[in-house]
Structure 1
Amino acid sequence: MAAATVARPFSRGFIALSLSLAALAGAHAQTMVSISGSTVNMREAPTLDSAVLWELQRGYPLEVTGRRGSWLAVKDFEGDTGWVARSMTGKAPHHIVKGPTLNLRSAPSTSSAVVAQMARGELLKTLEKRRDWVRVERASGETGWVSRRLVWGF
Structure 2
Amino acid sequence: MYKILFSILVLFSLSFTAFSQTTEKTTIGASGYPLPRFMSLVDDKTNMRTGPGLEYPIDWIYLKEDYPLKVIAEYGSWRKIVDVDGSTGWIARHLLSLNRTGLIINGSQNLVKSPEERNIIMVTAEQDVLGSIKKCQNNWCEMEVGGFNGWIRNENIWGALDLEAFD
Structure 2 length normalisation: TM-score?
Answer: 0.64
> For residues 15-73 of structure 1, what are the alpha-carbon distances to aligned partners after superposition, in whole Å with 9 as ceiling and x for unaligned?
xxxxxxxxx85258423222123432323444277235131422222122233343222
| Unaligned stretches of 5+ residues in structure 2 | 1-24, 29-33, 161-167
Task: Name which of structure 1's ranges 110-119 and 40-49 shifts more when overlaid on structure 2.
Answer: 40-49
Structure 1 position 108, deviation (Å)? 2.2
Change (3 A) 1:56 1:108: farther
The answer to whether the Cα contact below 8 Å between 1:94 and 1:123 also exists between their aligned partners in 2 is yes
Residues 1:77 and 2:84 aligned together: yes
Structure 1 length normalisation: TM-score?
Answer: 0.69
Tell me which of 57, 60, 65 is aligned to 1:58: 65
Paired with 2:61 and 2:117, the residues of 1 have a C-alpha distance of: 35
Residues 1:39 and 2:45 aligned together: yes
Q: List aligned pairs for 1:1-154, cutoff 5 A.
A: 26=27, 29-46=35-52, 47=54, 50-109=57-116, 111-138=118-145, 140-154=146-160
Paired with 1:29 and 1:41, the residues of 2 have a C-alpha distance of: 21
Change (3 A) 1:56 1:70: farther
The answer to whether the Cα contact below 8 Å between 2:35 and 2:73 also exists between their aligned partners in 1 is no
1:18 is matched with: none
User: Considering only CA atoms, is the larger Rg found in Structure 1 or Structure 2?
Assistant: 1
The answer to whether the Cα contact below 8 Å between 2:26 and 2:36 also exists between their aligned partners in 1 is no
| Unaligned stretches of 5+ residues in structure 1 | 1-23
Aligned residue identity for 2:40: S
Paired with 2:41 and 2:72, the residues of 1 have a C-alpha distance of: 15
Task: Name which of structure 1's ranges 37-46 and 126-135 shifts more when overlaid on structure 2.
Answer: 37-46
2:9 is matched with: none
Aligned length: 130
Change (3 A) 1:109 1:80: farther
Structure 1 position 80, deviation (Å)? 1.2
Q: Secondary structure at the match of 1:58?
A: coil
Percent sequence identity over matched residues?
Answer: 24
Structure 1 position 147, deviation (Å)? 1.2
